[in-house]
Every structure is written in structure tokens, then in C-alpha cells.
Structure 1
Amino acid sequence: MRDRTLSLPAHVASLAPRDLADARRLAAAIPARANAIEYRLDGAPEKIPATALADVDPRPVIMTWRSVREGGHFDGSAEEYRRLVSDAAAAGALVDVEHASGLADDRTLVDRRRLLVSSHFPFGLPPDWEARLTAMRQTGAFAVKLVAGAAHLRASLDLAEIQRRCADGATTVFPMGPASAPGRVLAALFGGALVYGSVGRPTASGQPPLSELLEVYETDRPRLLEAAFGIVAADPSGSLSPPVHNALFRSREMPFVYLPIPVSDFDRERPFEIELDPPFRGFSITQPWKIRAAEVGVPGEDVSATGAANTLLPERRHWRSENTDVDGVFDPLSDHDTGEGRTAVILGTGGVARAAIVAAKRLGYEVAVAGRRDSEADALATRFGTDSIAWAGVEETEADLYVNATPVGWLPDDPPAIPVRVLDTRPLVFDCVYRRDGRETSTVRAARAAGCRAVSGLEMFAVQAAAQARLFGVADVTREEVARILIGGRPS
């Protein structure tokens, strides 16, 4: 039997195998920098022998059966739980034992060097969390873990701060749930003894892929941070901003980190007012908060022009809002031709559509706007002095340029955002949407199949991200450098 003790800190590949063959398949995809494997077995449709699992990979193995009470799927008896833990320990695995089960105090059951004691609180941090951590440490386990639900940004960051305060080399504290992403990254960088990331499919709510933690955030390289940045979105998981901005920081040896910041209520959570160590020095803003962000602080020229902001920057006594999306549309469009004497149809009524309208008008296009809600398109047309088109009438138009500024296209099964019928006249097609895996959107595929010139959302992203990075203090960033990062460092 192999020595299954684990040196800390450790990055743990968390797997949820359905059977032994699935365990082998998932294990083959584990990043080389992972130190250990966790098998989450409470959701497996059939029992997988502990001895067989222990031999799938030479790395130390943690076996876990998370109870329904603590956010998992195990609902068996206390006797069954004890038997599963005992079998795993006999197979040479480390075991994650819930403190509430009482088994952690049984020193005859598991060698303390192979015992991880945990407590999970899906609905938030309990007031007596310090006493609970103390009680878990008193079991003599090699490591203890406390996980609490984070329904909003402040709760997520608070748990990361607790991890910083409790960083003794054997304690792990991190959030779970919809707002957990920034807290998980920071908890790892603040000295978490165990850093969990998924391989294949998440094993817990809000769990990021292990490859992303290692490659994008370099959480296996704890370091002193002087500033934090982040992308504020309802769901930032599809954004390429974290890998790009963190790569730019690394290339210039800047002690910064760029975080995903999920915000479900911009007015209530107000991320720009949150105090953090390291301090926030800038935010990227994406859907659906660009119009709300324009109301924060002093607007830059393109924020005043569009009524939308994709960047917030702190100044001495206030925040400044900027909009680099306008350049993101203007520059790639100007690579093709000017809009003098030409017509453009902009699909969408949100923040990106506003940037597209301003950019197209600056190039000389005669612009018309269409939205799924005709009333919103009419209001936008009135604001910008353009025409509006009923959504149902777009396929009857013959414009020189079509811009997709709707969210349609970032999902693999989305249909083209632009009616195929309008492509017969070979217009220029500009898709503001990109897919995180770098593949063409359905809109770009349809345009090129029809013989149209097409500008992808990645081209827009490269321009706006480079401009935004310069606002964040990263010198000499070009769209070409961002494009190289996208080609060479896109997460899987």
C-alpha cells in the first residue's frame, strides 16, 4: 500500500466519477501541477470500490461523501457512513470526514495523518465559526476545512479574509455558491492549505476548474499583491478578461490580480465601494451593468457619448468611468473601410449596441437600430438621432453593415443573430460576441459561408481589452499582444 499522506499546501483535483471507468477518464485529464485527487462519491450512481479508486493515480487520494445536510447527496445512515470511511482508510486513502458526524473524534477509525475534518454551511457563515474551527483542530487531523455559502460579493470576499487570518498551513476556508469565484481565488492566494478545483464537471456549487486556478490565477504561487482588478458581470464565467489581464500583469511582473466578480444586484452590492486588501484599482464592466456603471463617478468622453461604461477607475475622491467598447468597434471597422454613403443596422439595445452606434456614426454610416423590444429600439434611436427598425422587419433590409450587439451567439447551439436572408447582398458583418473557446460564433460562420466579410467578437475584444489594460496602468499594450495571448493562452 502506497504512502498516502499529503504535503500541504496542496492543489486538489476534485472529481465526481460515475463509475471506475469514468474515474480513469477524469484522472487522465488532471493538470500535472495537481498534488492530490479528491473523489466526490456521494453522487455516484453505483458504489465504486475504494481499493480500485486508490490505484487509479499515484497521487494521494481523498475520498469524500458529502451529506445532504452539508450540501451534498449522501443520505445514508450513520453506520453506512462509518463503513464507507473505514473502507477508504483501509485502502490507504485520505478521508474527508464531516465534523458534525462525530467520527473525527474516533481515533481508532482513521490515522490522523490521513484525516481531513470539514464543516460546510451552504446558507452562510455561522456566528460561531471560530469555535467550530477550534473544535475541528482539536481532533488532531492533518488539515481542517470550513466552507460557507456566499450569496453575494461581500460574503465571498469576507471568507477569503478569514482564510488570510487563519493561514497556519493546515486550515482551509473558502466560499461556495453563486458569488464564490473571487473568494475562492483569493483564499488560495491568501494561504489556503487545500485548493480545490474541478476536472470534467464541478463537484460543488461555484467550484472553478483546477486548470483555471493554476493557469489563469497561478494559485500555486502565493505572493504579495498590491492591487486587485476584476470583471463585474451577472456571470463572468464566460469572459476572457481574467486570462488576458492576468497574463499582461505577469508579463510585466506587476503584483496585481484580476478577478471574476459576479454581481446579481449592482445597486445593492456596489462593488466599487468594497474595501479589500489589496485594494481594487479598477473594474471591467460587462452585461448587464454597463448602463448602470455609467452613472458612477465622472464620465469620460465616450461614456458621455454612449451612456454606458465598461471601465471604472478610482481617482482621489471619486471614480471615473470610461468606455473602450467604442474603440473596440471603431478600429476593426475602420480596417475595412469608412462608412461614408453606407448604411448600417445595429441589432441590440444594450451597452454594446450604444458603443456600436457611436462608432458607426463616427465612421460616417447612416445607422438604424433594431431590438427584440421595438419600444427600446425606438427609445435608443431617439437618443442617438438614428432610425429604428421593427425586429420582424430586419430580414427585409439591405444594409452595407450589420452589427450583432445582442448576446446571441456565445453559446454553441445559438442560431445566427443576423437573418441569413440579408447575407445574400454580401454585407460586412460585425459580431460583438465571442465564444470563450475561440471557435467562430454561428453568426460569423453563417456570414463567411455566404461569402461575406466578417469581423469577430475576438477582434473587438482585443482592441477594447488593450485600451482597458492601458487605463489599468499596463504600459504599451497593443491589440496584437492581446491577440497573441488569446491564441496561446486561452483556457480549455
Structure 2
Amino acid sequence: MRHNKVAISIAGATIDRALERISAARSVADIIEFRLDYLTDLPIDDPRPAVARLIRSTDRPVILTYHPDQVRSSEGAVDVEFQRRFWQQLFPFAESRPVQFDLDIEVAEAFLKRSEPVPWAQVIVSYHNFEQTPTDLLDVYRRLAATPAGVLKIATMARDLTDNLLLLAVLERARREGRPTIALGMGEAGVISRILAPTWGSFLTFGSLTAEEATAPGQLTARELISLYRVPQLTPDTHVTGVIGNPVSHSLSPRMHNEAFKRLHLNWVYLPLLVKDLRRFMTDFVHPSTRKIPWSLRGLSVTIPHKVAVVRYLDRVDETARAVGAVNTVVIEGNRLVGYNSDVVGALRPLQSRLDLRGARVVILGAGGAARAVVYALRRAEADVLVLARRLDRAEQLAQRFGVRAGHLSDVAGIEYDILINATPVGLENPDRDSIVPSSALRPGTIVFDLVPIGTETRLLREARRRGCRTISGLEMLVHQAAVQFQLWTRHRAPLSVMWEAIGESERVREH
């Protein structure tokens, strides 16, 4: 089986610290990258003894990287001639060990201009852009390819998911020309490239030992690359799924679905996909007749803010999703995109396991896509439903659709209820601080269900527990709706216990 390479970057502040991290890196890395530019005690005038210690400390192939202008930008860019002299001292290491040297394109061009001896086969010539992904990226590739370097490298800031298409075009060109190339996007929108680029032909991908030791925005950890996304085993035939939304960095869904795929030995992967422009994403990445990316995309989870807007791009919507007016699951069936709503099941199961919903007085906060699914589910369960929202007109619109009552969010403190459900995103970004419900509105003995799907207790649930309420975490809805999605995509029954374990919970979230 093909094995995609993962290079682990070591960016210790001192030589001793870098040496301490080698044993951890060695256990997961195909290649170890030493970021010499992070070493504050590296003798610049003669780095050879220190670098020799680093190289001798591991039996893994080594990349030596020195881009001091990136690390110490406050001091200004380092002179190219200074870097040229720096590298001249280190090139002799190429004679005794599998060592590669990561040179900025300007430095490589300076060597070419002088016609000086360089172990070009072991050089990685690189271009970095921390601001954007230029539209003329193929021109950048041609500039790199004009050198005799053994590997070409492009790392750019991905401001939008579509920037990855430019990186893909570079890799396709490099593959046709037989030039080993690394092409990676930085930032949240570039995470897809860090996972899938090796399947597109990238020479390798980079990871860090811990999130705190990342050497570039959006860089994933070794554990994420190898254990979560199984990058070494991915192939061009791997079936792809993922969550689309804005934001998605908080999502626990990759942990659940990827662990379930692994446990059932399925060649599938689930990705976080930051989507800002839904129309362009559906055209360029999703629909089989128009997409520009060669992947075996099988389905999507849809979250805020796209659950309602995505409907217009689908070929068919199932009865439940049509009734709800929102889709949280897309399945690609042949050349057709089919929409479903698994939030309905996800909301009902945690509640039905605790009480009979018939006649229960339920207050739902919010009028978005999640609220639609919950109102629909509870209406079918014959609950007495009241929708409250900051915008009364939106609450009334939703209430009229499903034949329930509506009111303004400010009314919540004076309303009697059996169940209170937060179907807004309040608490997602700042769970310790933000709550949409004043503590005075929390009634002892009632159930408070916060749909915010995060692994920590939200302020709303914490205050509700202290007020004597029974609380339900959004993780319960998350897992139950995910199980439905998993089966829709794979035709396999979801391993629920595995999904719970993946997000660090027991099979059933403890009821307070």
C-alpha cells in the first residue's frame, strides 16, 4: 500500500530543547525537519557543530530549514548573501546522511547566479506567502522549476477553500513534468491541503508534535495527521466526507466519523471544510458535473450558516428535510445531490429517553436551521411548542410554518415550561462566558437542552445545573444525528460507542 510521507517539524527555542523533542518525533515521523531559524542559541558564524548534533541524534531522514525572516520578522529580512554563506557551511552534510536543505527561492537563485557548487538533488527550493494564495501560482511554480532543486515547495495562506484549487493545479503540473513538489495551504481554509495533498501528488505534508509547536498557521499535529485523518494510508480512491460551515474549527465531527471509519476498516475520511462562498463551493467542489477537484466525495454534513441555503443546490430533498426547510446532510448518489435532515432524529432521541413529550411545554430559542428541525420533531411528538427569537418576525414565520406559538426572546423569563432548548449558536465561540438565557429564567426540575455541540459545559448548562435543572449536552444530539449521517453515506450501521469514545465521553452523557 502507498505510504504518504509525514514530516514532523521541530522548532525548539534551544538546541537542547530540540534534542529533547527528537524521540517523540522519531516515533511518528517519516522525516524530521529541524527549524534552525527557531534556535536562539545557534552559532550563526559556525553552525556546523550544533547541526551535527541534531543530525546525529536521529536515524530518520532530515530536512534543515532556515528562514529567519519568517521567524524574526521584527528584525527585518535577513540578507540573501548572509543566508548563502550560512548554507555553504552546511552543504557538506549531504555527503554522509540523507539530508535535505530548504532554501528560499531568492537564496537558490543567488547560488545559481554565482554558479557555485550546491547539492541540488538534496535541495528543497521554497516559496512562502503568508498573506494570500496568488492567482498566478503557476508562474511561481515555473520560477521554482527553473532551478535544478530536487524538490519544489509552495506554502501560501488560503483565505478561502477555493485557494486549494490553485495548489492542486500546481501539483497536477508538477506531476506531468516529473518534478517532486510540496504544495500546502496555510490557515483554516488550507487544512484540506495538509490532509489530501499527498493524494494529489505532494511529496509530503508537514505536522507538529503539539498544537503549541506548530510552525505555520493551520498546521496539524502528528496525532491528527496520522491517527485522526490517517494521512499515510489515504489514496486517490479514498471516499471523502466532511462538514461545511463557517466556522468549523470547533467541530467534533471529524473525531467521531474518522474513528468510526477506522474501526470499521473503511477507506473513508472526514474533513473540516471552511466554506464562505456556498455557491462556488457547491459548483467547484461538490456537484459531479462541475467540480474541479478529483476526489471521491460521498457526502457532507452541513452546519451554520448553510443549512437553509444549501437546499437550492440539491437535486432532491427527502420528505423530512423538505418539511423542515433545512438540510444538514448531503449524500452524493451517482450524479445527484440528495438532502436529508438528521437533526430531527438527533433532537428527539435524547428527549424521548428522558420523558414523554406528548403535551410537554417546550420553549425553543432561535429560528434558524437547527430550530426548524427541533420544532418539526417536537410538533410530530405532540409537544406544546413556543418559539422565541430576537427577531419576532422570524419566530412568527417559523411558528406559522409548523402551527406553533411565537414570541420575543425577552419573554423567556416569564414563561413556564418543562423543557428549554437553546437552538442558537450562542455559547459556541465563548462557552464559559456567553449565554442567551438569564439565570432567573431557569426553573428547578425542568430540562435544559443546549444544542451547542462542544466538548465543554456551556455557561447555560452550568447555570442550569446549579439552579437544579436536568441538563442535556449538545453532544447527545451531535452523536445521534451523526449516526444517521454515517449510515446514509456508508450503508453501514454507525458504531455509537466508538463515536462517544472519540469525543471523550462515555456511551451516554451523564444527566445532571
Q: TM-score, normalised by structure 2?
A: 0.81
Closer, same or farther in 2 for the Cα pair 1:209/1:423, shift >3 Å? same
1:420 aligns with 2:426: no
1:446 maps to 2:445: no
Q: Relative to structure 2, which stretch is displaced further, 48-57 or 282-291?
A: 48-57
**Aligned partner of 2:464: which letter?**
A
Do structure 1's residue 466 and structure 2's residue 475 form an aligned pair?
A: no
Match of 2:125 among 105, 117, 122: 117
Question: Which stretch has the larger CA shift, 470-479 or 300-309?
Answer: 470-479
Could you tell me whether the CA contact under 8 Å between 1:408 and 1:414 is conserved in 2? no
Match 1:34 to one of 23, 26, 29: 29
Q: 1:284 aligns with which of 301, 305, 318?
A: 301
Check if 1:220 corresponds to 2:232.
Answer: yes
Deviations, residues 52-73 of structure 1 (Å, cap 9, x unaligned): 577576353532316469x999
Question: Corresponding residue for 1:131?
Answer: 142
From 412, 416, 425, the equivalent of 1:398 is: 416
Identify the residue that residue 236 of structure 1 maps to in structure 2.
248
Residues 9-28 of structure 1: pairs in structure 2 closer than 5 A: 10-17=5-12
Question: Among 342, 348, 362, which residue is 2:380 paired with?
Answer: 362
Unpaired segments of 5 or more residues in structure 2?
507-512
Give the equivalent residue in structure 2 for 1:255.
267
Q: What do residues 429-460 of structure 1 show as CA deviations (whole Å, max 9, x unaligned)?
A: 1121122xx33333333333333222111111
The one-letter amino acid of 2:456's match is R
Does residue 97 (structure 1) correspond to residue 99 (structure 2)? The answer is no
Please, which of 181, 188, 195 is the counterpart of residue 171 of structure 1?
Answer: 181
Deviations 1:305-334 (A, max 9, x none): 221101112335532110001110011110
The equivalences for 1:58-77 within 5 A come to 58=58, 60=62, 62-65=64-67, 67=69, 75-77=77-79
Structure 1 residue 196 displacement after superposition = 0.8
User: Which of residues 186, 200, 216 in structure 2 aligns to 1:190?
Assistant: 200
Q: SS at the partner of 2:478? A: helix
Which amino acid is the alignment partner of residue 489 of structure 2? Answer: F
Equivalent pair of 1:347/1:404 in contact (CA under 8 Å): yes
Aligned residues: 475
Which deviates more, 475-484 or 354-363? 475-484
How much does 1:418 deviate?
A: 3.3
Structure 2 counterparts to residues 44-59 of structure 1, below 5 A: 48-49=42-43, 55=53, 58=58
RMSD over aligned Cα, in angstroms?
Answer: 3.5
Aligned partners of 2:229, 2:117: CA distance in 1, in Å?
A: 38
Pick closer, same or farther for the CA change 1:373–1:488 going to 2, 3 Å: closer
SS in 1 for 2:279: helix
Gaps of 5+ in 1: 1-7
Q: Which amino acid aligns with 1:394?
A: V
Q: Cα offset for 1:335?
A: 0.4
Runs of 4+ off more than 6 Å: 24-29, 90-93
Are 1:200 and 2:195 matched, yes or no?
Answer: no
1: distance between equivalents of 2:489 and 2:483?
A: 10
Higher alpha-carbon deviation: 344-353 or 48-57 = 48-57
Deviations 1:318-373 (A, max 9, x none): 32110001110011110011222321111222211111212222223222222334
Post-superposition CA distance 1:180-211 (Å, at most 9, x none): 22222111233422211233344323333332
Given the superposition, is the C-alpha separation of residues 72 and 109 from structure 1 closer, same or farther in structure 2, using an over 3 Å criterion?
A: farther
CA change 1:160–1:126 in 2 (3 A) is: closer
Distance 1:52 1:303 in 2: 62
**Cα offset, 1:16, TM superposition:** 4.9
Correspondent of 2:403 among 365, 369, 385: 385
Cα offsets for 1:126-150 (capped at 9, x unmatched): 24355334323x13x4x32123444
Verify: 1:152 aligned to 2:164, yes or no: no
Report the Cα distance in structure 1 between the residues aligned to 2:427 and 2:16, rounded to whole angstroms: 34
SS of equivalent to 1:346: strand
Query: Partner of 1:425: helix, strand, or coil?
Result: coil
Name the SS of the counterpart of 2:198 in structure 1.
Answer: helix
**Cα 1:379–1:434 shift into 2, 3 Å:** same
Q: For residue 186 of structure 2, what is the amino acid of its counterpart?
A: M
What amino acid does structure 1 have at the position aligned with 2:103? V
1:180 to 156, 166, 190: 190
Match of 1:211, as an amino acid?
R
Task: Give the equivalent residue in structure 1 for 2:510.
Answer: none
The equivalent residue for 2:347 is: 329
Q: What SS does the corresponding residue of 2:126 show, helix, strand or coil?
A: strand
CA distance in 2: counterparts of 1:14 and 1:383, whole angstroms: 54
Instruction: Give secondary structure in 1 for the equivalent of 2:305.
Output: coil
Alignment of 1:260-275 (within 5 A): 260-270=272-282, 271-273=285-287, 274-275=291-292
Higher mean C-alpha deviation, range 55-64 or range 82-91: 82-91
> 1:227, 1:280 within 8 Å by CA — same for their partners in 2?
yes
Q: Confirm or deny: 8 A CA contact 2:125 2:144 kept in the other structure.
A: no
Task: Tell me: CA distance 1:109–1:38, structure 2 relative to 1, closer, same or farther (3 Å).
Answer: farther
**What SS class does the counterpart of residue 409 from structure 1 fall into?**
coil
Amino acid at match of 1:484: E
**1:228, distance to aligned residue in structure 2 (A):** 2.1
* 2:404 partner letter: T
Any idea what SS the aligned residue of 1:295 has?
Answer: helix
State yes or no: 1:314 paired with 2:332.
Answer: yes
Q: 1:477 to 1:10 in 2, by over 3 A?
A: closer
Q: Which of the residues 351, 356, 378 maps onto 1:338?
A: 356
Q: Please say if residues 4 and 233 of structure 2, whose CA atoms lie closer than 8 Å, have aligned partners that are also in contact.
A: no
Aligned counterparts of 2:207 and 2:75: Cα–Cα separation in 1: 19
Q: Give the whole-Å Cα distance in 2 for the aligned partners of 1:236 and 1:386.
A: 32
Report the Cα distance in structure 1 between the residues aligned to 2:271 and 2:206, rounded to whole angstroms: 17
The one-letter amino acid of 2:221's match is: P
Distance 2:12 2:461 in 1: 37
SS, match of residue 456 in structure 2: coil
Cα distance between partner residues in 2 of 1:72 and 1:326:
53
Residue in structure 2 matching 1:432, options 435, 438, 451: 451
